[in-house]
Structure 1
């Protein structure tokens, strides 16, 4: 499109997608609550396909209108993807057992990264083979959605008891007898009755006097902190970072692909550990890992820029820099990718769970819009010093998580909502001061054979 690589328009093209995501999340959550999770997912996939078609059109050689078509395509695709990001985690949590919600969502994110690898690999292959003016148009297999069951919680919420029974049978039919199926249905009905029939609006969720304000702020800060890890920017501008370390453009692109493959492989640790050690532990440990990684990237970036002056072989700095970026990617994937999307689906009642997930996507979209818009400007100006900024923001993210994020793993939706009730009674949001700090860690998991608390290794083996 004739845009120079250091133009601010590049940042706008990348960032405007996230604004579409924010709007799409709100629309899709409303649609999901009214018409069902499955129908909302199908509609979002259709919108995403349309956005890709617009972007495909922008590459056909009509340079006069190409930029406008690309902008429109980015926004439309964002509408669909934002909806997917809001609805799928909610749908996944409502179909999973309390002790497997984390594993289910982490495995989905691993498949998401598999898709990322495919997308980048196709893009790289076509660029190498046909040149940068070529485009690839992905066709999404929307027909697969019809093979999935609808959320039983959604069906109970809409008094569709027979449909809820049928959905439970599709999900658990191979493992449950009729008595167990009946028990599951009664539990869902009781939970719905306890939540009450009152409607919860977005204005309620952001009202300091409303019961849902506290969980909403937990969701907001989770996404703010994920953006502050800086990895969204690192992911988008990965090739430029490898170039900063001294590699040529094509080698930088190959290294980016290798980083994504490492990302995919190590996401296995996320679903093995997320239900075994908890969300908080993963986020805290990997926040520390990201902080250290960005400090090292700042050091290696600075040395790489002065390698000739200092008489240092470029590879002596570039290789440790590459390894550090790979480690940062693993830390983000294991600790901060699935967790912040999972928590919003675990702390709200059914009546506003989709809205909570939508708030999560909106904040994610706004924050990533800001970060990806500013990153190329800062990257061109501050160079490697940008990594030191991300080290500081990771430190803040870890501190906030330690103080205010409750552990939601291996607890029912109702148990997690109880934390916020007890926090209100205690008059504090500090996790350590609510219910004697019991929400700082996973609840004890007993071994079925011995009745004793399961050791960590056994919990990991159970996930396998």
Structure 2
């Protein structure tokens, strides 16, 4: 009997070693992180609001950093220093290249998060992102030539890539299931607030300060967001899923009690069981590395999820938002405006863009991700088509000397640009960031979101590199081009994107367990499994998962 008991205990120990993992040794050398004694003593909604405030600061930095080049790109002192005022074709390449290098750094930051976020925790990953971002801000603000600025943009992108990959994961793992979409919507409201702040800051500096100050100060100011984060992060809760993964069950239970709106012991026990079952299931998965996630077929269908997560990020860039947001002054110039009007209209568009997130907050969890993507692409396709037609008429009337008529139609183009950004902000902006955080299994969530963020970076880099050429080469046809892309995107969204709103993250393993890639069949299979009382992927017959 003693031998049997010893063998049983040995088997249980081996299983626990297989399922759980030790916290990385590297993590011990990073100050801060989670502490039960240091963590905020808030519970319920106050804790949710506190988490949202910290996440909002991080995402506001993303919005600021993503838009900081809008008026820097038109600053004559900056262009001269970067050698982009020669009047040659190299100018567009240099301007677009420095914008795109940030996306390259963003991808490096995302991949880094995928490598160590599960080993050192979400909070310490946020801290590392802040350090990269502060270094990047300092180097950009002090840049003396093109090469210096290029490296500075990459380093700044690494910091932003860290934060924009890990913060949505952290909030999705802490938020109540019915609040995840609204959480991300609020965060990106703050992101657009960051974009609006930096745009008007740069405009004010251009009008009241010297040209060097007008581009150096905004680039350095972004470090303020990161310093606030560095000071605040050690006082916040860690992801309960990460705490469970490293066998800190009591800490995970305490975090769930603090972060749930209705923290009854039955509900907490149920969620703890769901997380542990997910850890056990995912420990048997073969997809734990970037390579295996991309090339190995497993019972959790991780590769399919990578395609969906990366796909939604690529599609959001191909909606055309960057050709209007990043190059907004140039787009309003196409509408026939001159002088300060393009810059003023672009700044007003940021305010409208930010306001659109109020609608996104309301719709995110009520309508769901899939319907928002379908509705958004449809409306943006129609709006951009109208914009292309109006812009064509502006060019035509101007060529004929019909200035009054061209100005009237130019107002229509400006209205189209405002409507487009409002529609994008209320539908796609939040969806493309929350969807990847929901669809991946716990074991590969950090790496999965990292791969989706890399896809965002590549698509963003490509779009930002070619947009200046497109605007110069095809003028108003750029509206029609992106209108057609939006309408074409309806096909993959309708066929393959499954609804994830208002579902426990652990339920999504079951939702993606079926053999069909088609969304409506996956939903039918999920309902059938629930009717049979199936709760975990391991309970599904292998023939139903092929």
Q: What's the TM-score bracket when you normalise by the shorter of the two chains?
A: 0.7 to 0.9
- Look up the match of 2:258: 170
- Look up the match of 1:82: 161
Instruction: Report whether the alignment pairs 1:375 with 2:467.
Output: yes
SS in 1 for 2:390: helix
- On the 8 A contact 1:431/1:437 being kept in 2, the answer is no
- Look up the match of 1:32: 117
Deviation at residue 120 of structure 1 after TM alignment? 1.2
For residues 407 and 357 of structure 1, the distance between their equivalents in structure 2, rounded to whole angstroms, comes to: 17
- Look up the match of 1:195: 282
Deviation at residue 435 of structure 1 after TM alignment? 4.1
254, 270, 273: which is aligned to 1:186? 273
264, 270, 294: which is aligned to 1:206? 294
- On the 8 A contact 1:204/1:212 being kept in 2, the answer is no
- Look up the match of 1:103: 182
For residues 353 and 161 of structure 1, the distance between their equivalents in structure 2, rounded to whole angstroms, comes to: 20
Q: How many residues align?
A: 428
342, 346, 350: which is aligned to 2:438? 346
For residues 166 and 413 of structure 1, the distance between their equivalents in structure 2, rounded to whole angstroms, comes to: 19
Instruction: Report whether the alignment pairs 1:148 with 2:236.
Output: yes
Instruction: Report whether the alignment pairs 1:358 with 2:441.
Output: no
For residues 473 and 210 of structure 2, the distance between their equivalents in structure 1, rounded to whole angstroms, comes to: 29
- On the 8 A contact 1:243/1:249 being kept in 2, the answer is no
- Look up the match of 1:335: 427
For residues 326 and 214 of structure 1, the distance between their equivalents in structure 2, rounded to whole angstroms, comes to: 36
287, 290, 315: which is aligned to 1:225? 315
For residues 17 and 308 of structure 1, the distance between their equivalents in structure 2, rounded to whole angstroms, comes to: 37
TM-score, normalised to structure 1's length?
0.88
Instruction: Report whether the alignment pairs 1:430 with 2:518.
Output: yes
Change in Cα spacing, 1:296 to 1:438, as seen in structure 2 (3 Å) is farther
Segments of 5+ residues of structure 1 without an aligned counterpart are 440-464
Which has the higher mean CA deviation after the structures are superposed, 187-196 or 240-249? 187-196
SS in 2 for 1:421: coil
391, 395, 398: which is aligned to 1:308? 398
Cα deviation, 1:68-118, whole Å, max 9, x if unaligned, reads 121111111110111111111111110112221111111111111111111
Deviation at residue 150 of structure 1 after TM alignment? 0.7
- Look up the match of 1:244: 334
- On the 8 A contact 1:206/1:216 being kept in 2, the answer is yes
SS in 2 for 1:133: helix
Instruction: Report whether the alignment pairs 1:396 with 2:488.
Output: yes
- On the 8 A contact 1:157/1:350 being kept in 2, the answer is no
- Look up the match of 2:106: 21
- Look up the match of 1:271: 361
- On the 8 A contact 2:395/2:406 being kept in 1, the answer is no
- Look up the match of 2:538: none
- On the 8 A contact 2:136/2:156 being kept in 1, the answer is yes
Map 1:36-47 to 2 at 5 A.
36-47=121-132
For residues 263 and 296 of structure 2, the distance between their equivalents in structure 1, rounded to whole angstroms, comes to: 43
For residues 271 and 505 of structure 2, the distance between their equivalents in structure 1, rounded to whole angstroms, comes to: 14
SS in 1 for 2:142: helix
Change in Cα spacing, 1:249 to 1:41, as seen in structure 2 (3 Å) is farther
Cα deviation, 1:173-201, whole Å, max 9, x if unaligned, reads x8535555444433322332233355611
Q: Which has the larger radius of gyration?
A: 2
SS in 1 for 2:502: coil
- Look up the match of 2:36: none
SS in 2 for 1:72: helix
For residues 422 and 319 of structure 2, the distance between their equivalents in structure 1, rounded to whole angstroms, comes to: 13
- Look up the match of 2:513: 421
For residues 376 and 114 of structure 2, the distance between their equivalents in structure 1, rounded to whole angstroms, comes to: 30
For residues 152 and 473 of structure 2, the distance between their equivalents in structure 1, rounded to whole angstroms, comes to: 29
189, 192, 196: which is aligned to 1:117? 196
- Look up the match of 1:446: none
Deviation at residue 437 of structure 1 after TM alignment? 8.1
For residues 296 and 256 of structure 2, the distance between their equivalents in structure 1, rounded to whole angstroms, comes to: 37
SS in 2 for 1:325: helix
- Look up the match of 1:325: 417
Cα deviation, 1:216-273, whole Å, max 9, x if unaligned, reads 1111211121111011232110111011112224221111111111111111111111
For residues 89 and 50 of structure 1, the distance between their equivalents in structure 2, rounded to whole angstroms, comes to: 23
- On the 8 A contact 1:26/1:359 being kept in 2, the answer is yes
For residues 17 and 317 of structure 1, the distance between their equivalents in structure 2, rounded to whole angstroms, comes to: 36
Cα deviation, 1:334-364, whole Å, max 9, x if unaligned, reads 1111111111111111111111110111000
Name the Cα RMSD after superposition. 1.9
Segments of 5+ residues of structure 2 without an aligned counterpart are 1-78, 528-546
